[in-house]
Structure 1
């Protein structure tokens, strides 16, 4: 690990000004410290935000929840309001990492964690995300965990967060404070960027931006599910994950939101797929048709070709469970 300067922010404005000057923000550090040890990232200055008053979960005037950026993943998953009204979020958090990591990892940091692409972590290999213009070794290399949707010729990495998949299914907003003191909210739908030819630019955050909270809308009556398919039962990132929020009325799907992990550079959502399901009587045939629509542009890279049929099977199973279908329906 290379030498670096370290400072503690006493206010959000301190952190924002430090970020604007080129510092890297650290909270739980569960991802950043690994990257620093491997010299994938080598910040010259860290700004610690753990003293900032961003560790509470508050109810909003609209009936939703405002989750401070420093709320630990373990506390968020255990919160009774989250478990009651947003169970897909609690389940996604509990599916991620170990108990020790969940105790330390924060809400804001979880959104911003970096890909676990093997070549991104190996500084002896070319990686456009780590060094723009150097190439993507995963294309034509070992790419079992890589993207089948939304990739580009510059990058086929996937986003690793479970929490972010649930946040997208819940249509959450990210609250951001800038160095000039202004605040804005960005829907999770718009927070992440696809790789195109700039895979090193991963989110809408700019220099001087600090995530202060994630805001959930008021809960709706719905069935919520999160299913994660992985190589082993614990401590593994998703090969495919599905977050579903489904509202049923009179035997039909009144509303549905689906988000997917393990498939793309960001938590993936396709509104055309949701539109195909709305107003329809649930059936496995309908779900298979919607899955085919989701995957019509999916492209395997060789080792990850299995993700295409796996995604279809997982999506059908999650929707069937959420809609209460019996086997064979």
Structure 2
């Protein structure tokens, strides 16, 4: 396998760095197709000398895609964006770009193709992000019918943009807010009376999946011909409401923040202004995504069907979210280690 070549588009990103590490351990020669090859050089020490090679490529540049696919046995497309910026729109990256990669891979004689989509991809979604992911899946299938498609839920791990973002919020803010559609409001009590419901159902639900498990599923697709042409939904062992996620963060950061609900209309107002920031924490399209739960539907096989026992959030996040804890506790813990 040492002589086989695999091209990974987006290999320097969050999922990419974990995947490249596993591929190097498996003996693959890895061509990492990224917009900034210099910035991807941190991946080279993950393999032997010359085993991992960053090359320039952009999903907005068809010729660069063709060059990156040339001579490869396998192509994996991980590229995705959470918000639009200039020419990098959801349509250009998730739909047109994915189609260009699949078409170039097919033309280059690539044997195996893996496309990373997202849980909740749907042509009927109110979110442009989710609709573009669904179109990308359709166009990949049309260009490369035997492609394997993976749809992960929210992905967590040391470099994630989910728990780390909320951890930073817990360090800075006295209150953690979750958005929901049913609180505060009135509810009917068992005896027929009415009472104020301050918390509701806890907001949208998620089924976070560990980044290492996503990488394992993709690597397995390279070994198991039975995965060709199929779509897999990847989620962790349990679901959490957004309120439960915030409470987890409050506990693990030792900040003991108050966790309170806010109506979805307030999220829409905030997003209208925040979307103009260089790296917006919330956009109107993300608010549209929050209208639906992000959990496994059961319509597609998942990690357990691949023989992968998913890691739990509780087992992993303490290893990296502790950096948001109060400094004096960090110092005290370090002192105990060296005592």
Shorter chain as denominator, the TM-score bin is under 0.3
Q: Normalized against structure 2, the TM-score is what?
A: 0.25
Q: Normalized against structure 1, the TM-score is what?
A: 0.26
Richer in helix (by share): 2
Greater gyration radius: 2
